[in-house]
Amino acid sequence: MINVGVAGIGFMGWIHYLAYEKVDSARITAIASRSPKKLAGDWSDIQGNFGPPGRQVDLSGIKTYSDLNALIDDPDIDLIDNCLPPHLHADFSIRALEAGKHVFCEKPMALTTADCDRMVAAAARAGKQLLVGHVLPFFPEYAFARKVADSGEYGRLVGGSFKRVIADPLWLDDFFDAKRVGGPLVDLHVHDAHFIRLMFGMPTTLFSQGRLRGDVVEHCSTLFGFRDPQLAVTATSGVINQQGRDFTHAYELHFERATLQFEFAAFKDAAELMPLKVLVGDASEPAAMVLRPDLGDGDPIRGFEAEIEEVVRSLETNSPSPLLSGELARDAIHLCHLQTESVTRRTLVTV
């Protein structure tokens, strides 16, 4: 059994709590928050863009700390789950690693590549695992894509396009603050940067065209270059200033013998899903085929359950996760900053 201490009870702390409830091999034994209300179990004011709203939580049997250092010093905790605001991720994670704890840090790993490097180095020095909460590979549509790529069922992966766009998050005062949240690339597009890095390897070049808001990219489209000239990969991400669509994400992945296509969007009046389809067959066949995989009930918390199960597997087997590694998450942050550089300089950037 992995004993977990959760630092930060905001939206992601709440989502992780719900996932831990369904994972038998890990349990929350302590939490830390600066809010007396949340330490008393009243999480009813937590809201987000998916999952159920917060509620009253029974914290009997769970230790509560208002001091983050007290959470780190708790001798009964094996893993610190870092759900603090992004600008606190690096220093707090490093303190926990140096204190002999494993760390599961919610994305974005940190706000700068240098801070990511510090975190990876701290984990290596401490001999502890640093895992970063990039949940996207565990969502059913993306997990299916990984499975297809790993199996080689439809041949080699030859390209793809990704989309992740939100309405202006007016309720977040510091979303566009490069030193606190990081802006749309570091906080939003980093999901797709991580998945692109996972599926295709590290790009060698990139070119981004987009709009700036202050020092951060508001919205951009990027063409990624790879050592293999046959790979064609693009991504569009950021914020639009129309509030009718809160969120959308999508991908189209091209294999030699199939195309995978998926899109989900949350509009103000309804959510719309274009379920995952596998397009197979060519002009030489009597009829093209469309396959529609069964991906379960669509509960978004399922992805977080699978993610935490991967964390537990990594710790129990002392085998670092290839999906949640600090090195992979660091590369995603690095790509986001290179995209900002490309937009700012209006030039191709070498990775």
Tokens (6 digits) for 263: 């899109």
Domain 137-303+332-350 grouped into CATH 3.30.360.10: yes
Q: How far apart are CA 308 and CA 223, in angstroms?
A: 32
Question: Using an 8 Å Cβ cutoff, are 337 and 220 in contact?
Answer: no
The residues facing 261 across adjacent strands are 252, 277
pLDDT by residue for the chain (351 residues), tens digit each? Answer: 999 999 999 999 999 999 999 999 999 999 999 999 999 999 999 977 777 889 999 999 999 999 999 999 999 999 999 999 999 999 999 999 999 999 999 999 999 999 999 999 999 999 999 999 999 999 999 999 999 999 999 999 999 999 999 999 998 889 999 999 999 999 999 999 999 999 999 999 999 999 999 999 999 999 999 999 999 999 999 999 999 999 999 999 999 999 999 999 999 999 999 999 999 976 666 566 899 999 998 888 899 999 999 999 999 999 999 999 999 999 999 999 999 999 999 999 999
Domain 2-134 belongs to what architecture?
A: 3-Layer(aba) Sandwich (3.40)
Question: Using an 8 Å Cβ cutoff, are 249 and 264 in contact?
Answer: yes
Q: How far apart are CA 333 and CA 87, in angstroms?
A: 13
Beta carbons within 10 angstroms of residue 351's beta carbon: 14
| 63-65, strands of its sheet edge to edge | 63-65, 26-32, 2-7, 79-82, 102-106, 130-133
Q: φ, ψ for residue 256 (rounded to 5)?
A: -60, -30
DSSP state for residue 52 in the 8-state scheme = P
Q: φ, ψ for residue 126 (rounded to 5)?
A: -80, -15
Question: In one letter, which amino acid is 174?
Answer: D
Tokens 């309405």 map to which residue?
167
Question: How much of the chain is helix, strand and coil, in % rounded to 5?
Answer: 35, 30, 35
SS3 category, 215: coil
pLDDT at 287: 60
Tokens (6 digits) for 312: 């537990």
Domain with CATH 3.40.50.720 in the chain: 2-134
Beta carbons within 8 Å of 285's beta carbon, 6+ residues apart: none
- Give the burial class of 274: count Cβ atoms within 10 A of its Cβ; 0-12 exposed, 13-18 middle, 19 or more buried: exposed
> Is this model's pTM higher than 0.85 or not?
yes
pLDDT at 283: 62
Tokens (6 digits) for 69: 């250092």
The residues facing 234 across adjacent strands are 161, 223
pLDDT at 53: 87
The span from the first CA to the last CA of the chain, in angstroms, equals: 41
Domain with CATH 3.30.360.10 in the chain: 137-303+332-350
pLDDT at 172: 85
- Among candidates 129, 101, 124, 120, which has minimal Cα distance to 314? 129
